[in-house]
Amino acid sequence: MCSAVSHFGDKRLDTAGSFIHDRLVKVGPRGISVRSLGGNRAGEVRTSRFLRNEKVTVEKVVSQAANFQPSGQTDIAMQR
């Protein structure tokens, strides 16, 4: 899990954000729904709670994703 992906000011949110990032990387385009992104019931609940948290905004998620620099890579492409 890459903890450098999210910085929401709360360790639990940071961990959940990293979980979601890792799952998106793993499942790719199939990770569009909360169910497929979560992987199992616990992951589904975790993902839903993260996305419903008032500290998690679209702007914050996009900002974190834009600032993320994977190890050994220099470019990031985002599609909206």
Residue ranges per structural domain of the chain: 11-64
Residue-level pLDDT, tens digit, the chain, 80 residues: 454 566 788 889 888 888 888 888 888 877 678 888 888 999 999 999 999 999 888 888 888 777 766 655 545 555 55
The Cβ-side half-sphere exposure at 7, using a 13 Å CA radius, reads 6
Amino acid, res. 71: S
pTM (two decimals): 0.68
- What spatial distance separates the first Cα and last Cα of the chain, rounded to whole Å? 24
> Is the Cβ–Cβ distance between 50 and 17 less than 8 Å?
yes
